[in-house]
Structures are given as C-alpha cells and as structure tokens.
C-alpha cells in the first residue's frame, strides 16, 4: 500500500517553526514539552490519512491561539493559505491585548457549533488534537486520579461535559475510526473520573 503522501522538507520546517513559536511551553502542570503534543497530533493526522498540509497544520494548530497575529503571518508566508485556514479553524480563541481568550464556556460552545460547519480537512486535524488531549487526560487520571482536573479552568464537570460534546460532534460530522476512537477514549475518561 502506498503512503498518502511522501513527507518533504516542509514537515521539518513546520517542526522548526513549532519549536520557535512554542518550544518553551510545557503541557499543563506536567513539565512535558508542548512539542510532544504537536508531534502526537501530527502523527495521528498521518495515521488517519491526512495529507502533508494537514500534517503541517497539526504541528502548528495551537500557534495562532498562543502567539497571535505574528504566528498567523509567519504560517501564511511559509506554508500558504490552506494551512492557515486549517490552523485558524482549529483555534477556539485568540488572546486579546491583555492575553485573555474570553469566557471558557462560550468559547467551547462556539467551537462545538463551528464543528458542525467545518470542512473534513479541518475536522481531521481538530479530531486528532482532541483525541491526543483526551488520551493525555486518561493517562493523567491513571497516574493522579481525579485531582488532576484542578489544572483545568473548567474543572472536572466542565472538562467531562466538553469531551462528551466533542465525541458526539465528531461522531456526527466525521464518522469513522477517528471519531470511534475519540468516543472510546472519552468513555474511559468518564469511567476513570467517577
């Protein structure tokens, strides 16, 4: 079976840009380099038949959310309009001048509504992001138990609500193995949280 695409140097350039933009960040309260999440999402995109530009977008999917307009301009210049469109569509809030993204619940409700209209190329990257995050939460629940929810703004109830809604949205709008895996992971998350 032939691959969906043969990776070019653009993948390495995207990893380099991800390190430049987010290389000093860590996952919430873990010390794990944030790059591990970006690489994990990109890997899932490739495993679920994404193309090179979707893989690049996966590597940069949080850059605009975290680095703002500067990141958007750099991504557009280096990787083009399609990659920027996917990254923007995976963003649930860009910080204002004070670094605030707005009310968590409103942002998440808006993002869930956005998924209903999002093209498949966006749903794939977003779904891989949400799956990787859900897997990390499940892993942390095994290690730390429900106390780990204290690191999330929404706490346990809000986080569980959001992931249940995400699982349903992806089942409805991107049915298949990715949505099924997300649903199974969210079921594990709920079981471990109780």
The catalytic site residues sit at: 65-66
Residue indicated by tokens 């653009």: 10
| Angstrom distance (rounded) from CA 57 to CA 82 | 9
Nearest Cα residue to 23 out of 77, 60, 54? 60
Residues 6 or more apart whose CB falls under 8 angstroms from that of 127 comprise 48, 170, 174, 178, 179, 182
Q: How many CB atoms lie within 10 A of CB 157?
A: 10
Tell me the C-alpha distance between 111 and 153, whole Å: 16
Q: Is 102 left (phi over 0), alpha (psi -120 to 50) or beta?
A: left
Cα 74 from Cα 52, distance rounded (Å): 18
Distance from C-alpha of 101 to C-alpha of 67, rounded to nearest angstrom: 12
């Amino acid at each position: 079976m032939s691959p969906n695409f043969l990776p070019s140097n653009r993948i390495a350039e995207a990893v380099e840009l991800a390190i430049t933009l987010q290389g000093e960040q860590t996952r919430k309260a873990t010390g794990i380099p944030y790059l591990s999440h970006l690489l994990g999402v990109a890997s899932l995109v490739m495993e679920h038949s994404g193309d090179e530009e979707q893989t690049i977008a996966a590597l940069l999917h949080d850059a605009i959310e975290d680095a703002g307009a500067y990141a958007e301009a750099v991504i557009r210049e280096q990787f083009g309009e399609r990659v920027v469109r996917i990254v923007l569509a995976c963003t649930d809030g860009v910080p204002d001048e004070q670094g605030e993204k707005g009310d968590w619940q409103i942002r998440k409700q808006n993002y869930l509504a956005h998924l209903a209209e999002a093209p498949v190329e966006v749903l794939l990257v977003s779904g891989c992001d949400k799956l990787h995050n859900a897997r990390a939460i499940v892993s942390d629940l095994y290690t730390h138990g429900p106390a780990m929810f204290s690191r999330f703004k929404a706490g346990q109830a809000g986080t569980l609500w959001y992931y249940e809604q995400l699982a349903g949205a992806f089942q409805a709008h991107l049915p298949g193995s990715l949505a099924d895996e997300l649903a199974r992971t969210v079921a594990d998350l709920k079981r471990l949280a109780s």
